[in-house]
Amino acid sequence: MKFSRLLVVAATVAAVAFLGGQVVSAGSNSANMSVQATVSANCTITASPLTWTAFDTVVGTGADSTATVSVACTKGAVANVAMGPGQNPGTTRNMKSSSSDLLAYEIYTSDTYGTVWNAANVVVLGAAPSKDPRALTVYGRIKATNDVPAGSYTDLVVATVNF
């Protein structure tokens, strides 16, 4: 009995080896399987700090500086970038010292300093040519009319990409 069982196993192994490992069947059927995906429009945004190394109120000239906002979007996505008013808004944006003194400044869309960059004046980006980030320059200017004590002044402006 063990010998005949061994013979059946050996014959099965030989048949599988002879057929190249393929299973023999009486027929076959097939079906189409649909494959699909949805790609959502998305954008990310990062911003470098807008920093002035020194500002002299006695000299009476303004001071300019730049920063970069980078926006990466799904290919083809159209987006715009808005700047918030900062933590100390007034008639202009203001940086604040630890003793609550305010240093007026503004953020602009270009180096001509003609258009304030805010929620109403957004920078419109055309359709993204790829997912690679696009860099936008932020132009900052401290007003020459500031008359504030020496110290360190800060603010936080939220840059928002809408798509």
Break the chain into its structural domains and give their ranges.
59-162
Contact 118, 106 (CB under 8 A): no
What pLDDT score was predicted for residue 12? 55
Give the fold, CATH level 3, of 59-162.
Immunoglobulin-like (2.60.40)
What pLDDT score was predicted for residue 59? 83
Going by pLDDT thresholds of 50, 70 and 90, the confidence category of residue 53 is confident
What pLDDT score was predicted for residue 54? 85
- Least Cα distance to 113 among 99, 88, 92 occurs for 92
- Least Cα distance to 109 among 119, 95, 97 occurs for 119
d(CA 94, CA 157) in angstroms, rounded, equals: 10
**Mean predicted lDDT score pLDDT of the chain:** 90
Contact 47, 137 (CB under 8 A): no
Give first-to-last CA distance, the chain, whole Å: 77
Give this prediction's pTM.
0.78
Burial of 163 (0-12, 13-18, 19+ CB in 10 A): middle
pLDDT tens digits, one per residue of 119-161:
999 999 999 999 999 999 999 999 899 999 999 999 999 999 9
Rounded to 5 degrees, what angle do the CA atoms 16, 21, 27 make?
A: 90
Going by pLDDT thresholds of 50, 70 and 90, the confidence category of residue 19 is low
